[in-house]
Amino acid sequence: MDAGIDPTTGDLTGQRISTLANAVYLRLITPLGSYWADPLLGSRLHELRREKDKARVGTLAVQYAQQALQGLIDDGRATSVDVSAEQKHDGWLRLLIEVEAPTGRQTFEQSVRVI
C-alpha cells in the first residue's frame, strides 16, 4: 500500500491506498516523456490547458487518458480501462475512469482545466 495522493491538490492524504490508484493518478498528471526513468509514462492531458472548452476537447481528453493508461494493461495490472468525459463548459473537464483489475473494478475521477 502506498500513501494516498489527493487528485485535486496533489497533496498526501494520510491514508493508505492501493498502488493502482496512484498509478492512474501519476500517469494522468505527468506530462508524457518528462519522467526520466520511463519516457513512456505520462499523458498529453497537460496540452489541453490551452484549449477552448469545445466538444472536441472532450474527445481528445478521452484519447489522451486511454493512451496514458494503456501501460497498466500492458503491465498486467489491469485487464481493461474505460474512460468517459463529462463537460459542463465551466472551464473544467471531468474524466471518469473505470479500471478492471484482477482485484476488481475501481473507479477514478480526474479533472482537467480548459479555457
Torsion of CA 36, 41, 45, 50, to 10 degrees: 20
The domain in which residue 23 lies consists of 2-113
Confidence of residue 4 (pLDDT cuts 50, 70, 90): low
- DSSP E strand boundaries for 18-115: 80-87, 92-101, 104-113
Predicted confidence at residue 62, as pLDDT, reads: 96
Q: What is the CATH number of the domain that holds 94?
A: 3.10.450.40
A 10 A CB-CB count for 56 gives 9
| Overall domain count for the chain | 1
pLDDT at 15 over 70: no
Q: Is 110 exposed, middle or buried (0-12, 13-18, 19+ CB in 10 A)?
A: buried
Over residues 29-57, the mean pLDDT reads 91
- Identify whether the C-beta of residue 53 lies closer than 8 Å to the C-beta of residue 79: no
